[in-house]
Structure 1
Amino acid sequence: MKKFTKKIGAMLMAGTIAISGLWMSPSLAQAADAPNVNASAAILIEESTGKILYSKDADKLLGIASMTKMMDEYILLEQIHDGKLKWDDKVKISEYAHKISQDTSLSNVPLRLGEEYTVQELYEAMAIYSANGAAIALSEKIAGSEGKFVEMMDKKAKELKLGEHKFVNSTGLNNEDLKGMEQVGTDKDENQMTARGMAKLAQHLMDDYPEVLKTASITKKDFRPGTSDRIAMSNWNWLLPGLIYGREGVDGLKTGTTDYAGMCLTATAKQNDMRVISVVLHANGGKGSGQHNSARFDETNKMLDYGFNNFKVQEVAEAGTAVKDPKTINVVKGKEDTVGLVTGENAKLVVPISTGDAKLDSKVSLKEKSIDAPVKKGTEVGTMTVALKNGDKLGYVDGTEALTIPVVTNANVEEAGFFSQSLSAIGGFFQGVGTYVSDGVKGWFN
């Protein structure tokens, strides 16, 4: 899923490594001072690596409001990809979904009781207009009931390792707004997650189902055009180009607003071949007129400016770059005693923009001290961590502190024949005897 292997496993052998001339020194400079983001929690990450560029109380559990629907989108798109659901499948509107959809004080498109809508129609209403009745109808279609869907949400959050979280409904509304029809928790409960968890969810959503951005970036679209139920939908993410706070490069992802959660936004933008993800929970700042509505966009802009003005993604080593210390691994019962080691993937780091050079801290760890023949070229035998020397301590969104890429063998090694293995065993025996005798003789003269 990710470009870089993050699992390390049980490592028995480690050492600081040096890399051959294929390594490139990344540019380095002290980044500008981090912004003062006026929010209860916030985070900014580079999308392809997960490198954290800014963090403020990112592990604090807070309300997420309609950003909940990003989890709905993930599960729905997974169902589509698995063939369990089709875009033109019909969804019959229940009393619950109908009743919520008629509340004009909430984000909604009105749905007719007992009428059928396509999955595509309801998905677009949910993703573009944050339609709550549509989200409920989709949850019932997928799981049979919203309560069962909440169980799916919880299971998926654990599978994606999103960290501490709480789901009570599919919409992100306070249960109190569900008109006594809530199925999980009390009427005062509301969905919660951390800023880090939201950033990880956004990263997974875009990596696994990149088509989500095609819908998330739609600024305006009619719901059921040409019918008496037509509703002009305008995206609540006003950072999208063409909207009130439009910014070039922004193409997602989801807003959220309740009294408990405050003004929230998970945004993503791409500029100069770098994509970032930002999360603001309970934005309580902003300036100028329309302060309440502009806060989440103002605070998000601070982070986007900081990220794009101060950082870039740079490749520091290509796949197949030789590593040293250890530069080889022992081969048991092979025609060769050792095989060389190289990087299994390209190594990319997020580095501050500058004109200077940076040194790298790198370490290789092998799973075992040796490998049995036959050995196939490209066999993964360990991992290598790479980080900027004296770099920041923010680490990566998944909790790791450095980039981790696989270390693999650089050649095939055939298994030695029976005769060669026998000679090797005999040689080893006599070598052991010689050592024993020699050690014994030395002992006599001590």
Structure 2
Amino acid sequence: MQPRKTTWAGLVLVWLSLLALIFGAPTAQAAVNTNTIPVGGTAGVVFDLTSGKVLAAKDAATPHPLASLTKIVSLYLIRDAVAHGRLSWTDTATPTAAEVKLSKDTNLSNVPLAEKSYTVKELYDAGWIYSANVAVMLLANRLAGSQQAFIKEMQEHLTTLGIRDATLYTTSGLNNSLLPESMRVHGTPADGENKMSAADIGVVVRHLLQTYPDVLQDTQVVHKNFAVTASQTYAMTNWNALLTGNSLAQSDLPVDGLKTGTSDLAGQCLVATMPWQNRRLVSVLLHANGAETDDTKRFVQTAALLRAVNQAWRPVTLNRENTAKQKVKVTDGKQASTTLQLTKSVVGWAYQGQVVTPVRALPKTAALSAPVVKGRPTASTTLTKDTLGYLPQNDSQEISLAPTKSVAKLNFFERFLRWLGQLF
């Protein structure tokens, strides 16, 4: 293997990146467009789970049909109910004759049910692994008493997450037209279909995985048998073909979740997540391009999107050593100014090798009042935003700054003398 040759252009790029890291965002860097990664669908978003930093986006704020991605919200509520004692995994639900009949509709994603009791855990697994519509409807009834009451809980939950423009008609994501009229929520349109934006789906997923990271143990299951009766099982294969061990798994993309969705209006949709850079990536893709002639397109487009993000973006550590100290005035201090530095390291972001989220400089009018104590947090700032920003629930990251040296306060006589000097 030949050693890589260093070019003048390469040295210039390295120095520019270093200067950007140390001194903040120069005018040229502020103009960098970080929203250049193609998203192969009608809408989509990719983000870092921990920080909420958006790494790619397309029409992410517009509500679109989401089909079975609805189940992310529904199953979130079920997981939350178990955590808070409203349900237990061993509680049971029994389908009606009409629900059993609907569960055997081969045009819909379902596990076939019998008129017997199923545990909450069995139905929950069927919802994640096989996107079983009637299983999720049973869970909704078991928790809230009716589909309408559960949808109200879904809407209230979304509101607590700051989501107010979602449209929900069904607990499973099915279009109303696919349900018997007796199973539709009263007063909803005959062809009503749930809608949310890609960004809002991302917000839900972010809260879900941060609150209940064990959900990934369920979403990464590729094969599992569902016990229809004591003597009959139904083989479930996870619809997410990108999962490690599944049919379209990619060796460089260790996908371990999360959910598929398909309908005539929504097209092919996919939420995928995987470990990345000692962090976690989440992608949301709505209505994958080319799916009309190729039913693998949501997986192909998502794989391309994840690779592009992986190649373009890197988290970078901003700390005292590589971030410029900021000089501020000190009112009534024995020294006229002091310098501030970060109190702890923070994660910024580099795009195509260039830091695009440096620490934001304090305004020139910023000032501290003496006495000032070295190391004591006295001011705050944020990271500079690039063109993509963060998910709404983490719109800015506050960063504490502390003085590098103490500044004593002038006594009355000293302040008087300084006043005279300023006066004359």
Could you tell me which residue of structure 2 aligns to residue 394 of structure 1? 388
One of 39, 61, 64 as aligned partner of 1:62:
64
Could you tell me which residue of structure 1 aligns to residue 85 of structure 2? 83
CA shift at 1:24, angstroms?
10
Task: Go from structure 1 to structure 2 and tell me whether the alpha carbon gap of 1:434 and 1:393 turns closer, same or farther (over 3 Å shift).
Answer: closer
CA distance in 1 between counterparts of 2:241 and 2:57 reads 23
CA distance in 2 between counterparts of 1:149 and 1:42 reads 27
CA distance in 2 between counterparts of 1:128 and 1:226 reads 19
Could you tell me which residue of structure 2 aligns to residue 51 of structure 1? 53
Q: Which has the higher strand share?
A: 1
Partner letter of residue 152 of structure 2? E
Could you tell me which residue of structure 2 aligns to residue 255 of structure 1? 260
CA distance in 2 between counterparts of 1:308 and 1:358 reads 16
One of 192, 200, 204 as aligned partner of 1:189:
192
> Is contact 1:239-1:247 (8 Å) kept?
yes
Identity of aligned residues (%): 29
Look up the SS of the partner of 1:199 in the other structure: helix
Query: Can you give the 5+ residue segments of structure 2 that lack an aligned partner in the other structure?
Result: 1-20
**2:121 matches 1:124:** no
One of 216, 236, 259 as aligned partner of 1:233:
236
Task: Go from structure 1 to structure 2 and tell me whether the alpha carbon gap of 1:291 and 1:346 turns closer, same or farther (over 3 Å shift).
Answer: farther
CA shift at 1:399, angstroms?
7.7
CA distance in 1 between counterparts of 2:218 and 2:59 reads 30
Task: Go from structure 1 to structure 2 and tell me whether the alpha carbon gap of 1:133 and 1:371 turns closer, same or farther (over 3 Å shift).
Answer: farther
What are the residue-to-residue correspondences of 1:365-380 with 2, within 5 Å? none
Deviation readout 1:393-421 (Å, 9 max, x if unpaired): 111122877x522426689x9xxxxxxxx
CA distance in 1 between counterparts of 2:106 and 2:126 reads 14
What are the residue-to-residue correspondences of 1:44-443 with 2, within 5 Å? 44-95=46-97, 97-113=99-115, 115-162=116-163, 164-180=165-181, 181-183=183-185, 185-224=188-227, 227-248=230-251, 249-285=254-290, 291-317=293-319, 324-326=326-328, 343=342, 346-354=345-353, 360-364=358-362, 383-387=380-384, 392-398=386-392, 403-407=396-400, 427=412
CA distance in 2 between counterparts of 1:329 and 1:131 reads 66
Look up the SS of the partner of 1:42 in the other structure: strand
Partner letter of residue 131 of structure 2? S
Task: Go from structure 1 to structure 2 and tell me whether the alpha carbon gap of 1:343 and 1:97 turns closer, same or farther (over 3 Å shift).
Answer: farther
Task: Go from structure 1 to structure 2 and tell me whether the alpha carbon gap of 1:141 and 1:274 turns closer, same or farther (over 3 Å shift).
Answer: same
CA distance in 1 between counterparts of 2:308 and 2:331 reads 44
> Is contact 1:216-1:252 (8 Å) kept?
yes
Task: Go from structure 1 to structure 2 and tell me whether the alpha carbon gap of 1:119 and 1:340 turns closer, same or farther (over 3 Å shift).
Answer: farther
CA distance in 2 between counterparts of 1:159 and 1:309 reads 35
> Is contact 1:364-1:382 (8 Å) kept?
no
Q: How many residues align?
A: 393
Look up the SS of the partner of 2:256 in the other structure: strand
Partner letter of residue 263 of structure 1? Q
Query: Can you give the 5+ residue segments of structure 1 that lack an aligned partner in the other structure?
Result: 1-21, 332-337, 414-423
Specify which structure has the bigger relative contact order, considering alpha-carbon pairs within 8 angstroms and separated by 6 or more residues: 1
Deviation readout 1:231-286 (Å, 9 max, x if unpaired): 10000000112222112410111000011111111111223424211111111316
Look up the SS of the partner of 2:108 in the other structure: coil
CA shift at 1:52, angstroms?
1.7
CA distance in 2 between counterparts of 1:329 and 1:149 reads 58
Partner letter of residue 382 of structure 2? T
CA shift at 1:88, angstroms?
1.5
> Is contact 2:349-2:355 (8 Å) kept?
no
> Is contact 2:349-2:356 (8 Å) kept?
no
CA distance in 2 between counterparts of 1:384 and 1:137 reads 49
Look up the SS of the partner of 1:360 in the other structure: coil
Relative to the length of structure 2, the TM-score reads 0.77
> Is contact 1:52-1:394 (8 Å) kept?
yes
